[in-house]
């Protein structure tokens, strides 16, 4: 019985019941379940090489953006702004948990603001968001739609400066205040949920340095050698498990 999915879900539901300061780490599996391609998947790497002659990490890099903004924006609009993605049902369960006062917040490296879109209020987006762009000179904010609809390189209406996309580019640091917010949230948590990734993920390893509790629930479709570092690891899609335990 111990290893059946049914029993694991029963245990996970009990964990959620017993804790009230849950912090969720949202991994790449969460966004894949919302239909967003894996940024490190072979499909996207192959597509970028074919279409633009560079790998994603070469184009979506600070050095590329500052030296070739036109080419950068061509690829950025295509890959990041080409489609609107809607949060999977799992994100809405997180919003419900937060409303119930059980979820302290979420930490993610995804740039699509899916948790916020689903109504989660406290989300630390370590790698920024495609929705929050700004002029580097006058700091005026620009929407994703404004960037997408501008012909060529999107420029500030006032200063004609190239608008800065809201995501952290390769070679850039994560904002210090974001790191501090995430670390504070995690160190005050009494339970961690690792969703759509495994315990060996860089974000998760980092977060565990701050976590002082002992209850870690991992939900990830794929099993991984690090699963035994969680109190309980359920190898099933988050979108299927979360509604059953919250
Ligand atoms: Zn400006």
117-168 per-position pLDDT tens digit: 999 999 999 999 999 999 999 999 999 999 999 999 999 999 999 999 999 9
ipTM: 0.99
Q: Give the separation between CA 134 and CA 129, rounded to whole angstroms.
A: 11
Within 10 A of 234 (CB to CB), how many other CB atoms are there? 24
> Ligand 1: distance of its center to the CA of 146 in Å?
14
The whole-number pLDDT of residue 3 equals 73
Alpha helices for the chain (secondary structure H)? 5-18, 28-33, 42-52, 56-59, 62-67, 69-79, 89-99, 114-117, 144-149, 176-187, 202-208, 238-245
pLDDT class for 108, splitting at 50, 70, 90? Answer: very high
**What pairs with residue 23 in β-bridges?**
105, 192
11-49 per-position pLDDT tens digit: 999 999 999 999 999 999 999 999 998 877 888 899 999
Asked if residue 1 has pLDDT above 70, the reply is no
> Ligand 1: distance of its center to the CA of 75 in Å?
23
> Ligand 1: distance of its center to the CA of 154 in Å?
11
> Ligand 1: distance of its center to the CA of 138 in Å?
4
> Ligand 1: distance of its center to the CA of 119 in Å?
30
> Ligand 1: distance of its center to the CA of 130 in Å?
18
> Ligand 1: distance of its center to the CA of 134 in Å?
8
Give the architecture (CATH level 2) of 5-36+86-127+173-245.
3-Layer(aba) Sandwich (3.40)
Tell me the three state secondary structure of residue 25.
strand
Domain ranges of the chain: 5-36+86-127+173-245, 37-84, 131-164
Cβ atoms 120, 102 nearer than 8 A: no
> Ligand 1: distance of its center to the CA of 141 in Å?
9
């Amino acid at each position: 019985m111990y290893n059946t999915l049914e029993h694991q879900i029963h245990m996970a539901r009990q964990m959620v019941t017993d804790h009230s300061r849950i912090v969720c780490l949202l991994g790449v599996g969460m966004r894949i379940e919302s239909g967003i391609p894996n940024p490190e998947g072979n499909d996207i790497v192959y597509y970028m090489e074919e279409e633009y002659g560079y790998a994603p990490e070469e184009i979506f890099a600070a050095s590329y953006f500052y030296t070739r903004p036109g080419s950068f924006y061509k690829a950025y609009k295509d890959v990041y702004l080409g489609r609107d993605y809607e949060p999977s049902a799992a994100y809405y369960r997180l919003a419900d948990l937060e409303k119930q006062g059980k979820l302290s917040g979420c930490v993610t490296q995804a740039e699509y603001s899916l948790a916020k879109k689903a109504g989660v209020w406290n989300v630390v987006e370590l790698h920024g968001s495609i929705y929050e762009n700004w002029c580097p000179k006058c700091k005026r904010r620009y929407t994703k739609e404004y960037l997408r609809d501008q012909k060529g390189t999107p420029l500030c209406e006032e200063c004609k400066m190239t608008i800065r996309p809201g995501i952290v580019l390769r070679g850039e640091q994560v904002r210090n205040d974001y790191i501090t917010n995430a670390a504070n949230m995690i160190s005050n948590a009494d339970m961690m949920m690792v969703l759509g990734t495994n315990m060996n993920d860089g974000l998760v390893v980092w977060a565990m340095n701050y976590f002082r509790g002992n209850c870690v629930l991992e939900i990830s479709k794929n099993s991984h050698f690090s699963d035994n570092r969680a109190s309980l690891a359920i190898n099933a899609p988050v979108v299927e498990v979360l509604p059953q335990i919250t």
